[in-house]
Structure 1
């Protein structure tokens, strides 16, 4: 398709995540952060893990004892081999086999129960820690770290670690004990025949090493391709309105088909590796068993080994190759969990850009004076948005910020709410630097309402209570009435108990904005910042809000950022910004009366548009 970007060169952030982790794994290195995170997660369970290891040892010892007991039963308990008719040795061996089987079953049950408890506790703690840390990170982090990556950390990465805890520990310990234990027992039973059996080791080592390297490369490719599939799917569905509005379904489908096919082909490569590895292990195992049977039969025929020893060898060899078959699954699980640990450790090591003070300054109910003292700020180093701003907003004053896009209006709002810290200078509330206030104290006193107000799952009442969860229903209704939202809420199917779904999809943009205003009004902050908060309202809704705003803003400091001059008119003071500097400062009436300033020009253009 002409003009369609080549998906093979189109990469998303999730693919970069997969690349970085896979590169470390391919190189055989696991980052110090992931090792430290794993130690921290498992540290509270050190005693339980030791007991779990003991249970696994007991289980495998019981399992490995059974072929040896079979050997004893054959050599000393079967009547044709014995010179008398005493069945006591055979019955004793059978009883021991049953006891070993029961011990293995009980140990296995205990292992699965303990492993499940430890695994779930570890994952529960990890999910809480990741969620808490993501909430503590500042908006600047979330501006650059996409929501898809956040979701991936909390879901697929945690699931990969769970799979490792669920099957990896068991598979690794069992394989190690089986391989070492079986090799030792074979040599103990008969050194000569044992050495013949262990001739397969070099071939197993070569095949396993090949598979390890090839699967690491294959894993990296499959993780990259699945990341491309996920990123394209999420972006297409997230922007579905734009896709349908511009009739770009065919283009997006073409990209998706290509990345999906790349993912399919990458998986086929991985399946082919397993298709060679599994039969290869089985082939080596069967050839080894045949060789042992041939040579062992010859030794037994000549009386150099007993029939019981030969039978035990054959049973042990069956056990010996079983864990080798599971190594492929374990290795892929280990890679996935290691990559997940790398990414989670990277997030958890991320320091908040607006850290909590070590010794916060106490502040009760603020009066609401906001001061910007020689504040400089830049999103990108060397490109200041606010070069050196001095501004004092007295308590109880309503200030409107006006200016062109990029003038610094929203930046001032973000600094006043401490979504960001200034590059230089100080932002103060009642004379206290915001960096000295605890986060809860600041949020109790300063609230910002934006045009992109998010409504959470739950009832309408729950969403209004968001800023004050202990508010009664009467207080919720009073807040809605004050903002003019009561009528449309009451008209909904269950009134205030109506469930909000799909981020408030059943509400209009104006209705969502009114709910957000009610939420801020109920929180009752000392400073209220409205960032383009009326931009989504239609004319009737705006009129309702205009009447309510005077009540909402009474008795508190307010900062209004708006392009609609109908909203600006209720302000006590207007600041016109240009390139981060205040170029006009006065009441709306004073600035309009001047006739020649920037605000007067904006006001005249607005009046002409109404005409």
Structure 2
């Protein structure tokens, strides 16, 4: 019993140690990212430091010059000496000009640095999301990616654009002001030091509370963004199943949490700012009372009293900005941790260090005793040994989860095999440069994604330098040319986001034209005819029969009408090939494919 009791605290202690180590690693990674972003701007940073020091010195010199003017320059007027007044007046003007010009230059220099950093970070995030493998994108939701590019970068922008420049200036102003006050009158400096205790306590209270509230605010904001993006992306399903009320209720609940998080933050600020203002005003009152009493006794010159009051008043103005900066800092730190985490992700499909050449792919595909599992899950392909000769059209048939799409992802190298090898013309696809592989193997999925832009631009995605004649030839080959010409602007028609101006079948035909224009050696069609109606499918069949000739094709389809054009049919179950042969031979063999074919024929009747 005692051993068990003693083990739990030890386990908890080890977990706490691990959490602290992970937190330190995350902070170190974030600081390394920020340091790397700022490193190219070292010279501008040094210049910014010079400017902010000059601006702060110009501001802090003002009260001291006022004290000298009152106590020395003005009495000199009784002796008809105007030189001191002119000198100190000129110095006041110079100090004001230096403070203003240097301050403005500092803000512009800091803004240039922050915008350059944000630009580079945006580019890195976008580049990274394109570099990462399909496995990442299938697990990392689009809403989270959008949150990285929007709210997290916005948090950094607020810190770099305003918060950081303001807090540097504020800290220097407070430091130089305290030094200036101490030099002018150390007793007034002691009054300020006493007042710093409650101001510091209030600021620490504000920082602890704000850390919690702002974290809640960021979390609530991210959830609102993710829910909104997912709902808009799946709007067809929402409307088809009449889930509008449910999604609105869920979104409203998250939006209410976000509203409450913002209210908590504003309420905290509403207590901190007046409290700090009260401490500052009371300090001015005490400094005035104490300094006035000493001035009446003749222990303190009037000019020094005025300077002391100006210093005390000026000291408390930046404290509020320093306290508010902590909020921006917390928010930006959390955002930087998320961004650095995204940028630290490594693709599971890596580019070979020394790629093998593949100048002219023939299209022979070989899966050499391939095994595969997704992450730490069960084996999807236990041991697949398969050869597809160049130029052969192979249809994959089987129930959902049989491993058909997984096979396609391995051939296109969206994933790497867990064991064994996937070969293209005898070369392991892991040894091929991505550009060579993507040129040789093209996959068309059932999604048929179209980008915002013209029909021509969407088809030319398969070959950016294609001529108009080549684009039209590809469209004709798949039966898309006629409906394209019937559109308002023909090939210049804007299809809108996700192809909103064209039907599902037309989108699929355009994706076919895109793939055929790329002219790959291996074409993989993953349920690519699922969106087509019967007339559209027949039109595509004619195009496929012509354009698949002479190239290797892997067709994954539940519709057996698509399978009829295949030279060879593979029936898959649980990641294994259970039947392999020509369509007519499998029908005659009275196996699983024969039963599927009979059921399909019955449905047509």
TM-score range, shorter chain: over 0.9
Q: How does 1:235-314 map to 2 (within 5 A)?
A: 235-314=230-309
In the TM superposition, residue 608 of structure 1 has moved relative to its aligned partner by 0.9
Counterpart residue number, 1:125? 120
Match for residue 198 of structure 2 among 186, 198, 203: 203
- Residue 488 of structure 1 pairs with residue 483 of structure 2: yes
Work out the CA distance in 2 between the residues paired with 1:258 and 1:126: 33
In the TM superposition, residue 113 of structure 1 has moved relative to its aligned partner by 2.1
Match for residue 518 of structure 2 among 506, 519, 523: 523
Counterpart residue number, 2:68? 72
Deviates further, 53-62 or 516-525: 53-62
Q: Structure 1: where are the runs of 5+ without partners?
A: 1-22
Match for residue 608 of structure 1 among 584, 602, 605: 602
Q: How does 1:404-553 map to 2 (within 5 A)?
A: 404-553=399-548
- Residue 389 of structure 1 pairs with residue 377 of structure 2: no
Match for residue 564 of structure 1 among 554, 559, 563: 559
CA RMSD, 1 decimal: 1.6
Give the 3 Å change call, closer, same or farther, for CA 458–241 of structure 1 in structure 2. Answer: closer
In the TM superposition, residue 557 of structure 1 has moved relative to its aligned partner by 0.6
Match for residue 597 of structure 1 among 585, 591, 595: 591
- How many residues are treated as equivalent by the alignment? 585
Give the 3 Å change call, closer, same or farther, for CA 536–382 of structure 1 in structure 2. Answer: closer
Q: 1:424-477, CA deviations, whole angstroms, 9 ceiling, x for partnerless residues? A: 101011111111111111101000000002111111100001121111111111
Work out the CA distance in 2 between the residues paired with 1:168 and 1:189: 31
Work out the CA distance in 2 between the residues paired with 1:29 and 1:380: 24
Work out the CA distance in 1 between the residues paired with 2:238 and 2:579: 43
In the TM superposition, residue 489 of structure 1 has moved relative to its aligned partner by 0.6
Work out the CA distance in 2 between the residues paired with 1:29 and 1:279: 38
Q: Structure 2: where are the runs of 5+ without partners?
A: 1-18
Q: 1:504-548, CA deviations, whole angstroms, 9 ceiling, x for partnerless residues? A: 011100000000000000001110000000010011111110000
| Aligned partners of 1:76 and 1:82 also within 8 Å | no
Work out the CA distance in 1 between the residues paired with 2:503 and 2:159: 46
Counterpart residue number, 2:367? 372
Work out the CA distance in 2 between the residues paired with 1:224 and 1:128: 24
Deviates further, 258-267 or 56-65: 258-267
SS where residue 78 of structure 1 aligns?
helix
Counterpart residue number, 2:170? 175
Q: How does 1:73-88 map to 2 (within 5 A)?
A: 73-79=69-75, 83-88=78-83
Counterpart residue number, 1:104? 99
SS where residue 405 of structure 1 aligns?
coil
Counterpart residue number, 1:155? 150
| Aligned partners of 2:60 and 2:176 also within 8 Å | yes
SS where residue 355 of structure 1 aligns?
coil
| Aligned partners of 2:453 and 2:495 also within 8 Å | yes
Counterpart residue number, 1:584? 579
Work out the CA distance in 1 between the residues paired with 2:170 and 2:454: 53
In the TM superposition, residue 109 of structure 1 has moved relative to its aligned partner by 2.4
Work out the CA distance in 1 between the residues paired with 2:112 and 2:244: 47
Work out the CA distance in 2 between the residues paired with 1:110 and 1:577: 70
SS where residue 503 of structure 1 aligns?
helix
In the TM superposition, residue 82 of structure 1 has moved relative to its aligned partner by 5.2
Work out the CA distance in 1 between the residues paired with 2:238 and 2:406: 31
In the TM superposition, residue 552 of structure 1 has moved relative to its aligned partner by 1.6
Counterpart residue number, 1:54? 50
Match for residue 219 of structure 1 among 200, 208, 214: 214
Q: 1:194-221, CA deviations, whole angstroms, 9 ceiling, x for partnerless residues? A: 1122211111110111000011011122
- Residue 37 of structure 1 pairs with residue 41 of structure 2: no
Structure 1: 4+ residue segments shifted above 6 A: 27-30
Q: 1:26-84, CA deviations, whole angstroms, 9 ceiling, x for partnerless residues? A: x99961111110011111111211111111111111111111111111111224x7541
